[in-house]
Amino acid sequence: MKEIPVDGQGTVNPAMPGSDYKFQVEKGMEKTVYHLKTPLSQDDVEPLRAGDMVTISGKIYTARDTAHKRLVSLLDKNQNIPIPLKGQVFYYAGPSPAAPGKVIGAVGPTTSYRMDPYAPRLLELGLKGMIGKGKRSKEVVDAMVKYKGIYMAAIGGAGALLARSVKGVRIVAYEDLGPEAIRELVVEKFPAIIINDTVGNDLYADSQNRSS
């Protein structure tokens, strides 16, 4: 398995220690795993292709339906938003509460299409990555090509497993929304797979065509 670390400058960075996660692939088939470090630059995301395995380390932001609605309504009024956008990665997730002694509860992805109405606007303003599960609209796929962003899937329904990649969490906005508040997660080698890349490929469509 070939591993290519990537950081915000598009240059090689030592791989993060402490994670034993690996995607298993066909015997004899070499599959590259890209280790991404946030924030991401255009140079970081452009070489990535649908089907590539990645891990993400650094800060990412959870945001779901209502948080997106609030962010975009602030942008519509030309007001500042409470989190950075440029080069950032949004994780469509609403974690379960942390039990005592734990960093976080279960933290798998939610279905992404519900954020489709808001995503092109955020990509235009510099958002580089989105993590979720499920298909995106044509508008979002086109916006990823135009503004150079990527969409990644995490394993849906593996919230207990994915929690192991989360090393820190704090609420940064909209605490009143409870599970839907925006949280800054510090992640280490959070595993994902590229679904949509910057040239318009779609892994879901490709996978289904191959299998049916």
Q: Return the active site residues.
A: 68
Phi and psi at residue 165, in whole multiples of 5°?
-90, 0
Residue identified by tokens 């949280």 is 183
Q: Which of 121, 132, 118 shows the shortest CA–CA distance to 90? A: 132
Q: Does 145 bind another protein (CB under 8 A)?
A: no
In the complex, the smallest distance separating the C-beta of residue 176 from another protein, rounded to whole angstroms, is: 8
Q: Does 19 bind another protein (CB under 8 A)?
A: no
| Identified binder of another protein from the candidate list 58, 94, 120, 149, rule CB under 8 A | 94
| Identified binder of another protein from the candidate list 55, 110, 165, 196, rule CB under 8 A | 110
In the complex, the smallest distance separating the C-beta of residue 199 from another protein, rounded to whole angstroms, is: 19
| Identified binder of another protein from the candidate list 5, 10, 47, 105, rule CB under 8 A | 105
- And the tokens for 22? 């690996």
Residue pair 9/16 in contact by the 8 Å Cβ criterion: no
Site for another protein in 21-80 (CB under 8 A): 23-26, 65-66
| Identified binder of another protein from the candidate list 35, 37, 59, 133, rule CB under 8 A | 133
Q: Does 178 bind another protein (CB under 8 A)?
A: yes
Q: Please, which residue, 37 or 183, has the CB nearer to another protein?
A: 183
Cβ count within 10 A of residue 20: 6
Amino acid 37 reads K
Q: Give 139's contacts (C-beta < 8 A, 6+ positions apart).
A: 116, 119, 120
Longest C-alpha distance within the chain, in Å?
A: 54
Q: Does 209 bind another protein (CB under 8 A)?
A: yes
Q: Does 1 bind another protein (CB under 8 A)?
A: no
**Is the torsion defined by CA of 129, 132, 134, 139 positive or negative?**
negative
In the complex, the smallest distance separating the C-beta of residue 111 from another protein, rounded to whole angstroms, is: 5
d(CA 182, CA 177): 9
Phi and psi at residue 89, in whole multiples of 5°?
-120, 125
To the nearest 10°, report the CA torsion of 113, 4, 191, 137: 10
Site for another protein (CB under 8 A): how many residues? 48
Give the interface segment with another protein, choosing from 11-19, 73-81, 100-108, 116-124 (CB under 8 A): 100-108
Q: Does 164 bind another protein (CB under 8 A)?
A: yes
Residues that bind another protein (CB under 8 A): 23-26, 65-66, 93-99, 102, 105-108, 110-111, 113, 133-135, 153, 155-161, 163-164, 177-180, 193, 203-204, 206-212
